[in-house]
């Protein structure tokens, strides 16, 4: 069962970037997460079961420079006046669950922010000595707009990231809604949902592994993010 992105965004709240997220990948030499660093498997607790998310496809997720489809006419002059338009500043992904009968959402994992652009300050060329001091009228002229000395640079190495084949989480017994989502960091500094899917009413039983099949794929410029419930569940000793 595949459900739309609009429904998902109303179920799961977006989190603001952490201070660590803000600094990661802020310049060309910074490291960029290319493969999820999270553990692939986890044992179920004695009183609970295991949720196993198994991904197929090439497991690659990629973004473009202008995911939100802005035109240069819609941006303020200070944002970008020349060159390719860049409005995708970064992205991240998360796996979350909501347990039936329990309030709120539990975030099982969230990737670091994968930065795709940074601001570079453009140094003004030194002006030759002025033959006179500026007049009072010249001093009253409007100051340069904020940000005109910055240029947005694209980080090509952050364009794509590859997820692991499996993610496994111990969970208490119950029924869960499972969510996989990718969020975009826009040029205005706000997070917005980009691509996601979820499945509902997935049972987690004591000593068993509940499997959710997912597809994450990027081929010829087309993205796929899809979750499906597997009818197969195994006991703890079967894997």
Q: What is the pLDDT of residues 177-210, one digit of tens each?
A: 999 999 999 988 899 999 999 999 999 999 999 9
Under the banding of pLDDT at 50, 70 and 90, the label for residue 175 is very high
pLDDT confidence of residue 75:
60
pLDDT confidence of residue 130:
60
Report if residue 98 sits inside a domain: yes
* Domain count of the fold of the chain: 1
Report if residue 48 sits inside a domain: yes
Q: pTM of the predicted model, to two decimals?
A: 0.69
Average pLDDT over residues 161-175: 97
Collapsing DSSP to helix, strand or coil, 76 comes out as: coil
- Percentage of the chain exceeding pLDDT 90: 51
The pLDDT tens digits of the residues spanning 98-134 come to 999 998 999 999 999 999 999 888 776 666 666 665 5
Report if residue 76 sits inside a domain: no
Measured distance CA(178)–CA(14) in Å, rounded: 16
Under the banding of pLDDT at 50, 70 and 90, the label for residue 73 is low
| H-type alpha helices, 108-182 | 136-139
Report if residue 139 sits inside a domain: no
pLDDT confidence of residue 68:
84
Beta strand 208-219 pairing with 48-56 = parallel
Average pLDDT over residues 208-226: 96
Q: Both tokens of residue 57?
A: 């496809």
Q: What's the domain range around 218?
A: 5-15+36-70+82-118+148-238
Report if residue 25 sits inside a domain: no
The yes-or-no verdict on residue 9 having pLDDT over 90 is no
Q: Please report, for residues 21, 30, 126, 188, 203, the alpha-carbon distance to residue 78 in angstroms, rounded to integers and kept in the order given.
A: 24, 25, 22, 12, 52
Measured distance CA(31)–CA(93) in Å, rounded: 17
Report if residue 41 sits inside a domain: yes
Report if residue 128 sits inside a domain: no
Measured distance CA(62)–CA(83) in Å, rounded: 21
Average pLDDT over residues 14-33: 40
Measured distance CA(68)–CA(64) in Å, rounded: 9
Q: Please report, for residues 29, 50, 120, 127, the alpha-carbon distance to residue 123 in angstroms, rounded to integers and kept in the order given.
A: 20, 55, 9, 12
Least confident of 23-37, 107-121, 140-154: 23-37
Report if residue 132 sits inside a domain: no
Under the banding of pLDDT at 50, 70 and 90, the label for residue 70 is confident
């Amino acid at each position: 069962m595949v459900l739309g992105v609009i429904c998902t965004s109303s179920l799961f709240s977006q989190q603001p970037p952490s201070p660590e997220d803000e600094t990661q990948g802020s310049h060309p030499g910074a490291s960029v997460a290319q493969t999820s660093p999270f553990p692939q498997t986890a044992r179920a607790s004695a009183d609970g079961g295991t949720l196993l998310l198994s991904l197929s496809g090439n497991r690659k997720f990629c973004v473009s420079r202008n995911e939100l489809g802005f035109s240069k006419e819609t941006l303020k002059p200070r944002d970008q006046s020349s060159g390719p338009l860049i409005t995708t500043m970064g992205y991240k992904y998360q796996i979350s669950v909501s347990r039936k009968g329990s309030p709120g959402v539990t975030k099982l994992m969230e990737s670091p922010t994968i930065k795709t652009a940074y601001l570079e300050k453009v140094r003004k060329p030194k002006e030759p000595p002025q033959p006179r001091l500026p007049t009072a009228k010249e001093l009253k002229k409007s100051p340069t707009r904020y940000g005109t000395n910055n240029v947005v640079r694209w980080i090509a190495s952050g364009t794509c990231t590859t997820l692991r084949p499996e993610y496994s989480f111990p969970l208490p017994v119950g029924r869960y809604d499972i969510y996989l989502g990718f969020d975009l960091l826009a040029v205005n500094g706000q997070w917005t949902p980009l691509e996601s899917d979820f499945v509902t009413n997935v049972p987690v039983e004591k000593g068993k592994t509940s499997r959710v099949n997912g597809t994450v794929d990027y081929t010829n410029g087309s993205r796929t993010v899809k979750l499906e419930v597997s009818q197969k569940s195994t006991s703890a000793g079967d894997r």
